[in-house]
């Protein structure tokens, strides 16, 4: 965090490793230069409102994304591609992160971050950010539309004429024909897409912080919902690796700060510290990187699915890790204010989110069961198939 009281970023979201990784990088000390030039001093009330709002916004995608990940996981196990969250296409189904993916991710993230650093050094920042704006406009519209889909299914009356559509592109003919694009949607999805497009245009034209937050919340919720760790060990590998990544790039180099000052995209949640003075036109922001939400969030979502697998009608590990996240984020803010220096949030979030549930499992005698819990992935299925063939 900077002296301007910005919450730093840390690591990045796994599925879009290249993108979200850079995204988090942008949040570490991201608005230090802006606030320094403005010479703005936030009031205690403005600071409390800003950080309280950021913490609240961070909890929303973690809580609801974790709940939706349970439904998503059940649908995947049953082989169903059509349920309340609006999944009908393979691209919308969850992506499972294996231990191999988790071990490689910090290295890939570091290479991506340094690549962006060189990119901004060599090429014009204006043109790069123009391309990024268009890219994130498309991603944001799709993410927000997907996020809104379950809500729209409940808002529209049963009598609403909901027609089904299919977008299909194929290549070749006869037996050699293969699908390039096969996307199914309905009228409700089109309404969601239209509303999301309006928000997207608003963001492109105004770069307003509310539009930024709508996209950021959608990215974070989709990340927590669709990125599934296959077991607790994989989660520990991922969080441990990104813990080191975050500390190194924040404290060890100026790469994160340089990218942060150059990168413009809705990859962070922001809230103005001068909202009470300037209203919606406020411009001095505190911020929280999406990686500080998504990375701990996918681990918390895994623990919720573990709770469900125990069939005990309790959510002990989910609530303990959820409270641990609040504690870790609060500790990050406290240390930042005490030492007046940027802090990598994962430095505090990782020990809290991993440590609290593990200690509880140890006391309950369920530690072995926790680490044996396994969710199937395409990789494990292929290994199981090959093993069966060898046995035969």
Residues designated as active site: 246, 292
For 180, the enclosing helix (H) or strand (E) is strand 178-186
**CA neighbor of 12 nearest in space, from 212, 213, 219:** 219
Instruction: Tell me if 328 sits within 8 A of 349, measured CB to CB.
Output: yes
The two beta strands, 164-171 and 95-97, are: unpaired
Instruction: Tell me if 78 sits within 8 A of 87, measured CB to CB.
Output: no
**Bridge partners, residue 270, by sequence:** 287
User: Cα 304 to the chain's mean position, in Å?
Assistant: 17
- What own/partner pairs with CB < 8 Å and gap ≥ 24 does 200-203 have? 200/137, 200/140, 200/141, 200/144, 203/137, 203/140, 203/266
For 362, the enclosing helix (H) or strand (E) is helix 346-364
Instruction: Tell me if 184 sits within 8 A of 89, measured CB to CB.
Output: yes
Rounded distance, CA 239 to CA 11, Å? 9
The answer for 362, left when phi > 0, alpha when psi is -120 to 50, beta otherwise, is: alpha
Rounded distance, CA 62 to CA 295, Å? 10
Rounded distance, CA 144 to CA 150, Å? 11
Instruction: Tell me if 348 sits within 8 A of 330, measured CB to CB.
Output: no
Which DSSP state fits 225? H
Residue with tokens 């690796």: 241
Q: Could you tell me where the DSSP H helices lie in 207-248?
A: 209-226, 232-247
Is 69 strand, coil or helix?
helix
């Amino acid at each position: 965090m900077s002296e301007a009281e910005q919450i730093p970023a840390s690591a990045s979201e796994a599925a879009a490793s290249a993108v979200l990784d850079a995204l988090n990088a942008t949040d570490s000390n991201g608005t230090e230069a802006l606030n320094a030039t403005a010479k703005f001093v936030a009031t205690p009330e403005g600071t409390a409102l800003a950080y309280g709002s950021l913490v609240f916004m961070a909890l929303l995608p973690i809580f609801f994304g974790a709940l939706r990940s349970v439904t998503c996981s059940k649908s995947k196990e049953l082989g169903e591609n059509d349920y309340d969250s609006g999944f009908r296409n393979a691209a919308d189904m969850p992506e499972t992160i294996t231990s191999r993916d988790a071990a490689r991710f910090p290295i890939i993230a570091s290479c991506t971050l340094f690549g962006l650093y060189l990119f901004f050094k060599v090429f014009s920042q204006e043109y790069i950010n123009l391309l990024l704006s268009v890219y994130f406009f498309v991603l944001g519209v799709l993410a927000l539309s997907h996020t809104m889909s379950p809500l729209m299914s409940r808002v529209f009356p049963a009598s609403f004429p909901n027609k089904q559509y299919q977008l299909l592109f194929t290549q070749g003919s006869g037996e050699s024909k293969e699908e390039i694009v096969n996307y199914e949607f309905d009228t409700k999805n089109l309404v969601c897409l239209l509303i999301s497009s309006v928000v997207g245009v608003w963001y492109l034209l105004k770069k307003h912080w509310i539009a930024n937050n709508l996209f950021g919340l959608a990215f974070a919720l989709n990340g927590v919902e669709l990125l599934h760790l296959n077991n607790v060990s994989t989660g520990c590998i991922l969080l441990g690796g990104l813990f080191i990544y975050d500390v190194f790039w924040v404290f060890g180099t100026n790469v994160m700060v340089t990218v942060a000052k150059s990168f413009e995209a809705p990859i962070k949640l922001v809230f103005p510290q001068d909202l009470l003075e300037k209203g919606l036109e406020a411009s001095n922001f505190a911020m929280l990187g999406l990686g500080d939400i998504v990375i701990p969030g996918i681990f918390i979502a895994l623990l919720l699915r573990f709770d469900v697998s125990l069939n005990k009608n309790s959510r002990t590990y989910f609530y303990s890790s959820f409270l641990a996240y609040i504690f870790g984020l609060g500790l990050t803010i406290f240390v930042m204010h005490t030492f007046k220096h940027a802090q990598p949030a994962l430095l505090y979030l990782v020990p809290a989110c991993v440590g609290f549930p593990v200690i509880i499992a140890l006391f309950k005698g369920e530690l072995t069961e926790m680490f044996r819990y396994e969710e199937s992935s395409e990789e494990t299925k292929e290994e199981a198939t090959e093993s069966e063939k060898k046995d035969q």
